A and B are shown apart, each in its own frame.
Chain A
Amino acid sequence: MADAVHAVRFARVSLALVFGVACTGRVAALSGEDASGGTGGGPTTGGQAGQPSQGGQTPSIEDLVVMPRRLQRIGNDEFVWSLVDLVNGSEALRQSLQKGMPLESVGEHGFAQPGPLGLVEVDRLLEKAKLAAATVGFETRVDGKPLIACSATVAAGQAEATCATATLAALATRAYRRPLLTDEKADLVQVFADARAATGSTFLTALHTGVTAVFTSPAFLYHDEDPDQRPPGVAVVTDTALAAKLAATFWRSTPDAALTALATQQKLHNPDVLASEVKRLSEDPRSERGLIAFFDELLGTANLASVTRTSADKAWTAERASALADDLAKLIHDTLVTGDGRLVTLINKGLLAAGAVMAAQSQSNEASPIKRGRLVRERILCDPMPAPPPNVPVLPEPGQTPVSERERFAEHSRNPSCNVCHERMDPIGFAFAGYDHLGRAVAGSVDTSGKLVDVDGTTSRFANKDDLFAKLAQSDQARRCFATQWVRFALGRQVTAADSAGMERLFTGFADGNIKDLFAEVTRSAAFRQEKLEEVSQ
Chain B
Amino acid sequence: MTRYGMAIDQSRCIGCHACAMACKIANNMPADVVYNRVITVGSDYIDCASGTYENPSLEYLPMQCQHCEEPACLQVCPTGATQKDPDTGIVTVDEELCIGCESCIKACPYEGVRTLLPSEPTYYLDMEVGEADAPKHAGGTVEKCTFCANLVARGETPACMVLCPGRARWWGDLDDPESEVSKAIAGREYTLLNEEAGTKPNVYYLH
Q: Do A and B come from one complex?
A: no
